[in-house]
Amino acid sequence: GYLRPETAQGQFVNFSRLLEFNNQKMPFASAMVGRSFRNEIAPRQGLLRVREFTMAEVEHYVDPENKDHPRFDEVAHIELPLLPSQVQLDGKTTPVMMRIGDAVTSGTVDNQTLGYFLARIYLYLMAVGIKHELLRFRQHLPNEMAHYATDCWDAEIKTSHGWIECVGCADRSAYDLTKHSAYTKEKLCVRENLPEPLVTEKLVCETNSKVFGPKLKRAAKPVQEHLESLSDANLTAIQSALSTDGKATVVLSGTSADGEYEITPDMVTIETRTITEHVREYTPNVIEPSFGVGRILYSLLEHSFNVRAGDEQRSFFSFKPAVAPFKCLVLPLSGHASFAKPLQDVARRLRAGGVPARVDDAASASIGRRYARNDELGTPFAITVDFQTADDGTVTLRERDTTKQIRAPIDEIVELVKCLVNGSTSWDDVLSKHPLVDTSTSDSTA
């Protein structure tokens, strides 16, 4: 049996089709999320080291002669905590804060595309709620780097288990596509029309089939392929051996007809030809960010876990709205019958606006207890329907981390929650525009 250790190879073998989907245009990327498997000797530490885990990988294909990224300008100003290999070799472990634009210009990070993805990984980890001071990008030391990699950085996150590699980001060069191509004999390359035809002089070896085939028999094809693949320097050596000694020896290895074969002048013609090329053919290089989803999730849980000051029993997850399973809790102040209709109305409006909402109307629990248990689930916002709702159509909006509340009409609160959830406004913004509601009774009864 075979279990893949990464999702990458499934993407590489589909390269030609992916390129076609992209109208043969470079650069472009493919991405995949799926299970990967590693034969770990000691699986342990929960989600951190397992034999089967979820991986998300982007394979970004670039021209090896131009690894600039068209959107690098958008991220060049972002400062990343970098731990370059030289800093580690000097025995230091403190990351250097560096703008990614400067890191690429100074050669600390090999190229723009790799730098672009390091910045995007950083933005992603910040967006889901990883703590900035517990994140670093560590460059692989020369002896750690895969032999085919040009440069490689790991996003490492600090948890109670130490620094954990959560995202790898490597320039894998043309290694994978070249290997697949060599073994399958399928071309995995890009063909680009040249703006100007390229004229070059090249030594070419042609075989004389009348003599070549009968003399070499079954070895004829592999020997011919070998001769056609030789560099100018090797062909020159054969050419001079043929003219001085009247024969040359060709050695095949790694083929079905390995051995030594003698070539004589009547079997081949080696001469310089002028070659005009209209198309450039090349194997792309691949920049690969590789996310270990379980490790990121575990780190996120640790970084988001908090307890209320002075009360260790009251824990809560400070999930960002983007990752919180429920974005908004909707609850009545008590089990009073008049609250039922506005409660459903608020929940329906939130859901219609694309905000996953949860109703907690269990009459058996106090309002404070219901806030507290939804804080434990990490629900960032809570809308409460109370006696004032029937009078003036207003409800309160509570934020989980600060436990502060404001009051406004239902329509306005629903709009505010939509903006808070999609990130177009912040809780600080909301607080600066609305007076605080006194919560001394509701939150203290937990």
Residues near ligand AMP (CB under 6 A): 6, 38, 40, 49-50, 53, 55, 165-168, 290, 292, 294-295
Q: Please tell me the distance from the alpha carbon of residue 126 to that of residue 303, in angstroms, as a whole number.
A: 11
Measured from the CB of residue 294, what is the shortest distance to ligand AMP in angstroms?
5
- The DSSP line for 303-372 is HHEEEETTEEEEEEE---TTT-S-SEEEEESSS-GGGHHHHHHHHHHHHHTT--EEE---TTS-HHHHHH
> Is the CB of 18 or the CB of 50 nearer to ligand AMP?
50
Element of type H or E holding 214: helix 209-216
Q: Quick one: CA torsion of 348, 351, 356, 359, rounded to 10 degrees?
A: 0
Q: Please tell me the distance from the alpha carbon of residue 210 to that of residue 265, in angstroms, as a whole number.
A: 13
> Is the CB of 268 or the CB of 286 nearer to ligand AMP?
286
Residue closest to ligand AMP (Cβ) = 292
> Is the CB of 294 or the CB of 380 nearer to ligand AMP?
294
> Is the CB of 110 or the CB of 154 nearer to ligand AMP?
154
> Is the CB of 53 or the CB of 212 nearer to ligand AMP?
53
Measured from the CB of residue 51, what is the shortest distance to ligand AMP in angstroms?
7
Measured from the CB of residue 2, what is the shortest distance to ligand AMP in angstroms?
17
Measured from the CB of residue 167, what is the shortest distance to ligand AMP in angstroms?
5
Q: CA angle, 259 as apex, 254 and 262 as ends, to 5°?
A: 130
Q: Which residues of 344-369 are buried (b: 16+ CB within 10 A; e: fewer)?
A: ebbbebbeeeebebbebbeeebbbbe
Measured from the CB of residue 34, what is the shortest distance to ligand AMP in angstroms?
12
Measured from the CB of residue 119, what is the shortest distance to ligand AMP in angstroms?
17
> Is the CB of 206 or the CB of 302 nearer to ligand AMP?
302
> Is the CB of 172 or the CB of 327 nearer to ligand AMP?
172
Measured from the CB of residue 289, what is the shortest distance to ligand AMP in angstroms?
9
Strand partners, 321: none
Element of type H or E holding 170: strand 162-171
Sign for the CA dihedral angle at 313, 319, 320, 324 comes to negative
How far from 178 is each of 188, 232, 283, CA to CA, in Å?
7, 22, 7
> Is the CB of 48 or the CB of 347 nearer to ligand AMP?
48
Q: Please tell me the distance from the alpha carbon of residue 217 to that of residue 207, in angstroms, as a whole number.
A: 13
Orientation angle between helical segments 340-352 and 410-422, nearest 10 degrees: 40
Q: Please tell me the distance from the alpha carbon of residue 38 to that of residue 144, in angstroms, as a whole number.
A: 18
Measured from the CB of residue 139, what is the shortest distance to ligand AMP in angstroms?
14
